[in-house]
Amino acid sequence: MIEIKPQNIINTTVTVPGSKSYTHRILIASALSDGPCTVRNMLRSEDTLLTLATLKQMGVRAEEKEDRLILHGTGGRLSACDEIYLANSGTSMRLLTAVAALAEGTTVLTGTERMQERPISDLLDALNQMDVPARSLTGSGCPPVEVRGGNLNGGSVALKCGISSQYLSGMLLIAPYTRNGLEIKIVEGPVSKPYVDMTVEVMQRLGVTVERSEYDLFFVPGNQLYRAGDYTVEADVSNASYFWAAAAVTGGTVRVRGISADSGQGDIRLLDCLERMGCRVIREKSGITVIGGPLSAIDADMADMPDMVPTLAVVAAFAEGTTEIRNVAHLKAKECDRLAAVATELSKMGIDARCTESGLIITGGKPHGAEIDTYDDHRIAMCFSVAGLKVSDIFIKDEMCVKKSFPNYWEVFETLYG
């Protein structure tokens, strides 16, 4: 457990590691590519290293260099594996379950107890429609899952994406390796749309054709290969959010390097929320600065940026008025039930915070100190640490859960103390 001490932030610049979502995608596409790929600034955190370890287990050769990783793409040929362990990395689980469909033989993917409560049946259903036998081994619709892969014909599938966009990202990533191409009709959702755009962007950047009509229909021609090349991962916007929030709640100034307003990471839209709440935002090519000011409540539809809900909720606790966060029922299926966790922990700090069917209602006030439970959820640990910059006696339990996406978080956080 660590105590966070209040701090006036005058003017600080921070560097955050590479994007988790881009790293997962670039690793997978590189592994399936037609030759050696160089990946720079990849995020080396628990989750992304699990994706990398899995690809190696499936037969992909990786060479670690000082400032880059070289992945030798196999052209889509992968070996099946008896047991792949993915802890609580939803992105790894959903994307690699689809990838396992390319490996001749039976692959089993599993994870932590919590991972075994996170749904995946809509993805399995889509694989079944492609004649890939795939099932939840417990029958719960959650991992562990078994996939019997091999040559994929492709065809047409109907996919529900009301719980997670990761199902669609997984299906899209393997689609170029089908014989006849793959048509994906979206029959529910998708939630978290910008992550779908990011998947398509990475696929196109690696030379693959993807046709689409908005978020309803996707078609990926078959017999394509990702093209080997040199890829640099941009800084992680979700992890930058804690530092922008630090400026918001303290009234200070924080600049995060290496992020620009045209980022393909949908969480960049948090900045619009912070502006609406009263912050000033300076968007430059080389970095983005937030300058805090008196905060007021907003109404926010956060369907497209689920990972920013805990961050915004903590900022809302310091804002004048009642903030409503809408359309994020999918937060119940994350590392923990994030709606319940955020409401519980804010309530411990004396803030009126409650869950609705699909969101949160938070009335800003004068939060006080509390021991914060983190539910083995990196984002809960990081967002509540921000509250501790303004309020005394905030203690974060099990603070090392940040290793999931940001292993050196506490070191970077320390730099806010000047």
Ligand X SMILES: C=C(OP(=O)(O)O)C(=O)O
Annotation: binding site for phosphoenolpyruvate: 20, 90, 118, 166, 338, 379, 404
Q: 21 or 374, CB closer to ligand S3P?
A: 21
C-alpha–C-alpha distance, residues 207 and 227, integer Å:
6
Q: Is 373 left (phi over 0), alpha (psi -120 to 50) or beta?
A: beta
- Which among 47, 122, 267, 307 is annotated as catalytic? 307
Task: Say if residue 407 is preceded by a cis peptide, omega within 30 of 0.
Answer: no
Tokens 């979502």 sit at which residue? 21
Return the residues of window 249-308 that contact ligand X according to CB under 6 A: 307
Least distance in angstroms from the C-beta of 294 to ligand S3P? 31
Return the residues of window 146-175 that contact ligand X according to CB under 6 A: none
CB 12 within 8 A of CB 157: no
Partner interacting with residue 318 (select from ligand S3P, ligand X, none; CB below 5-8 Å by kind): none
Q: 33 or 89, CB closer to ligand X?
A: 89
Q: 23 or 33, CB closer to ligand X?
A: 23
Least distance in angstroms from the C-beta of 24 to ligand S3P? 6
Q: Are strands 370-372 and 394-396 parallel, antiparallel or unpaired?
A: parallel
Least distance in angstroms from the C-beta of 331 to ligand S3P? 8
C-alpha–C-alpha distance, residues 312 and 300, integer Å:
9
Partner interacting with residue 193 (select from ligand S3P, ligand X, none; CB below 5-8 Å by kind): none
Q: Is 166 in the site for ligand S3P (CB under 6 A)?
A: yes
Q: Is 76 in the site for ligand S3P (CB under 6 A)?
A: no
Q: Is 199 in the site for ligand X (CB under 6 A)?
A: no
Among 74, 121, 164, 289, binds ligand S3P (CB under 6 A): 164
E strand or H helix that includes residue 289:
strand 287-291
Least distance in angstroms from the C-beta of 112 to ligand S3P? 16
3-state secondary structure of 381: helix
Q: Is 267 in the site for ligand S3P (CB under 6 A)?
A: no
| Angle at CA of residue 257, ends 194 and 315, nearest 5° | 65
Amino acid type, 75: G
Q: Is 12 in the site for ligand S3P (CB under 6 A)?
A: no
Return the residues of window 316-345 that contact ligand X according to CB under 6 A: 334-335
Q: 307 or 373, CB closer to ligand X?
A: 307
C-alpha–C-alpha distance, residues 220 and 154, integer Å:
10
Amino acid type, 152: L
Return the residues of window 167-206 that contact ligand S3P according to CB under 6 A: 169, 191-192, 195
Q: Is 91 in the site for ligand S3P (CB under 6 A)?
A: yes
Return the residues of window 45-64 that contact ligand X according to CB under 6 A: 47
Q: What are the backbone dihedrals phi and psi of residue 34, each rounded to the nearest 5 degrees, phi first?
A: -95, 15
Q: 178 or 241, CB closer to ligand X?
A: 241
User: Would residue 307 show up in a list of annotated catalytic residues for this protein?
Assistant: yes
Segments of 142-250 assigned E as strands: 145-149, 155-160, 182-188, 211-213, 217-220, 230-232
| Residue 395, both tokens | 């203690």
C-alpha–C-alpha distance, residues 251 and 248, integer Å:
5
3-state secondary structure of 292: coil
Q: Is 239 in the site for ligand S3P (CB under 6 A)?
A: no
Q: Is 51 in the site for ligand S3P (CB under 6 A)?
A: no
Indicate the DSSP class of residue 290: E
CA distances to 18, 123, 171, 189, 302 from 159, in Å: 30, 7, 9, 9, 22
Q: Binding site: residue ranges?
A: 20-21, 25, 90, 118, 164-166, 192, 307, 334, 338, 379, 404
Among 111, 176, 405, 416, binds ligand X (CB under 6 A): 405
Active site residues: 307
Residues that bind ligand X (CB under 6 A): 47, 88-91, 307, 334-335, 379, 405
